[in-house]
Chains A and B, each alone.
Chain A
């Protein structure tokens, strides 16, 4: 457990009891990304809750929460380990995908996103994972750059329904 003398906000791993907070803050993240259809956001909350209820106990999703002394979760991060084919530079083929990094608006500019992201990266490092990747919003990009992340130029995506 990591504590900070400045703000008394504590970082700890997420459990299934944190699912409502993880999902509530995930909605805040998508709203900041200009997703404004409440029907789709509600559907996302329902689907993400169901996913996390299985994935956290199974050890497939690993999350961290920043908690105030009053017990309020105000910042989160998450990691899923994706299995890719081994490459010459990453023989396990495992990549830690970092996501769900979001801080409640009234708790921003205190370094909480940095702390929850670092908790995730330290955990990956401790597991011997050699790569981390993420998709950055414009708001998050400076933080990730300061942690050593670099833009990739070769990832591409296709929506098969279009």
Chain B
């Protein structure tokens, strides 16, 4: 057979080197192995591209040569093997993947030669990145095993399925006691793939390699358990598998890591090997029991249950082993084996087991353990009760197999104690946190009278221990009951005064929740309870503080609940206005609550929590919010009066109480909290509404000028920006602050992840004012002169999105022509500026966001297209590109050449491949239409250009045309 001549090969390579995509095209379209040798002579298989590392990212370039070899392997396996063995070692996993494909297409003996070399590379790898490579190795393991290359298959499986230690696992020698987190052993690749490989390829491997495969998996599991231990010296047998693997027969692979996958794998392998008589039950059990950890014993018991008819003797030996009967860690599998096989035991063997039940647990040990663990001295009666529970739970394992007299006995116990839940499980884990539990259900509490509830609250002592009922749990149910029966709890609220603060807080919170559900109740007694609470010292009495660990540690939470209840009461005028004085007498003291203290803010504020969020999580903060709501409540009630206008004009003179509080907390010597300052920012438009003169007078205090108090200004300003919309009267009142913000963009680079970015919000405010024609020209100029590109770009985007939103929302009125004209004039000035800029790269965000204007359809098409082209020449990209391309598609009939030019600029500017991919189909639509117009040549040029950038699918447009 002849090969293509070297001359022709060189001609091909000469043609292919013009562009990378042509070179890839050449290799992708080779269909014959005859090219391998001449290409090899030209050294084309000696230069695999290395992995590309950029910062935290890693890329694996495709290598067309290895893909070609993989395709040819089935036609010329020996030749391909020879070539791939000569390829230099590479860290590019895609090349390895192609070689694995090639090996899969070869006879097993040839594939084994490559695999042996590949194993040397694999052992050096810490991680096989997200490709199909692991799955291909899985397929190879099966193929090699089936093809008679068992030794190589085992070697490969051992390496690529190997369990690696968690990097955070610390050796005992390096740390005293346990390390903080249990280590998480891992494989070289994703666990989902690991599991899939076990499902798809391992049965074949197990069938071919038999006992060796079974042993290999057991060793892997042993490694996994060892690597999951906190301490190196902890070498079993307890592995706590009853927690991470409740039962052998059911899998929960996704929730419990590699150990679980391996347990299922060993279980399935064992069942397969026994079923197909490759391994005897006894051999399998021996292999498992030769490992120390309990999980192996559990798997042995599982196999005994599954194949119990294969070996009665072995089953009986296990069932009559007391160490297994009384073994917490293997209980589930022992119990299931007993359930299945009890009746197959002979009489003496049955008697042994029933005798163990008869004898019951060691009550002395029980009493000792109770004393040691819970500090409780159990009486004999209590111990007897425990014995009864113990016997019931054991008998329940095999209740249907019990002899008649024992059946009757079991029924008797059940009559007394009730039917147990599935007692084969020593420890039922629950998914998710279910929260603290309560000694009384919601319905119980709803049926009880208030007196009965209060009596219960005073008598009930929370038991110690995890998962036990707690005051917190009871409080939750109390709150829900109060929410559902607000009348009952409000009219008797005072009765709760002497109960623990946890319960008082629950009642008040429940009543606030009732208001959210628009349920009303009588306030006087509730307010009286609130008044009494705030008169109490904030800290608890000694008796209250020793009540329980799971309860409120002071009256702070109850005080916060009062502030929230009042806030709710102010909304919708739930609170009668006649109670103003009473309400204020409760609210005002809460504004002096010590929390947040300086220490509290230092601990929970800063990068942990912004001041605004902190304010709604502290008592004084809640109270200050409530003060503003109080003021709104007062104002709404004043508005109902006949002389309302006159009274409203008096501002805070009508609410001197509010003014006093607001004045006081602006004094840093009295209140140094940033959270409290954030409250002023959050409610600024309302403060202006109440009394703009007061705001004008205090603007310098709310936003202090002094550099030392910068954080106060920042807390107020950022919160104002993030929470408040743009109001003209606020701009008039605090224009100096807007002006000052326009000089300081030092925070503009902060990417705020929570709540938004104050700098971008400022841009939005300014654009709203500009839209309305309210923005002073000096501020307008200052913004565009000083703001960084990303903020200016946001301003352009904000306007564009507003215009686009108007277009989409057909029900809204059209944008008035004078506003459109104003916007157009803004854009003209921005484009001119960008075109004349010394550094046009500093205008790219601004220019690219013109796309939003373009898709809004609010402007003349010709004007919009001209602007888009001009902007694209500067920015090289446009947002939102996919919608812009959709609009371009609509405009092809009117201006095909411009449309193609715009699209070309977008393609040329696309930095990442997915940019074009996001609008690929619409782009095809544009070009297909353009090919039918006088822009045909430009469209063809662009299609070829797209091809040169790897978008070969656009070529079909030329073929169709």
Are A and B a genuine interacting pair, yes or no? Answer: no
Residues in chain A within 8 A of chain B (CB atoms): none
